[in-house]
Amino acid sequence: MQIADQPDRKRFEALVDGQLAGWAEYQLTDELMVFTHTEVATAYEGQGVGGALARAALDEVRARGLRALVVCPFITGWIGRHREYADLLYGARPSSVTD
């Protein structure tokens, strides 16, 4: 699976064997990446596509030094199960974890 940011489409896309398997749509500001919708093609449901999209997108938020404002129910739920990304949420206190 390959995940890539497609800024012209304002979404991260997941490709499996060259086929579009899913995407996570966003809007970008100077401070925030706002996640609005995640979609996984029926043929790829249950194969980890949504989770891979969420992880890649949130890793990009971290790399850019932004915050995430999440209105997408899928990514909200994913962060609830992967609390190591909770510090990226808009309004969250900065992490006290050091490398």
**In CATH, what number is assigned to the domain containing residue 42?**
3.40.630.30
Q: What was the pLDDT predicted at 82?
A: 96
Asked if the structure places residue 99 within a domain, the reply is no
For residue 85, pLDDT beyond 70? yes
For residue 34, pLDDT beyond 60? yes
Are the C-beta atoms of residues 22 and 41 closer than 8 Å to each other? yes
Number of domains composing the chain: 1
Are the C-beta atoms of residues 25 and 37 closer than 8 Å to each other? yes
Q: What was the pLDDT predicted at 5?
A: 97
Report angle CA 15, 74, 92 to the nearest 5 degrees. 115
Q: What was the pLDDT predicted at 91?
A: 84
Host domain of residue 31? 2-88
Mean pLDDT, rounded, for 7-17: 97
Q: 50-85 burial string, b = 16+ CB within 10 Å, else e?
A: bbbbbebbbebbeeeebbbbbebebbeebbeeeeeb
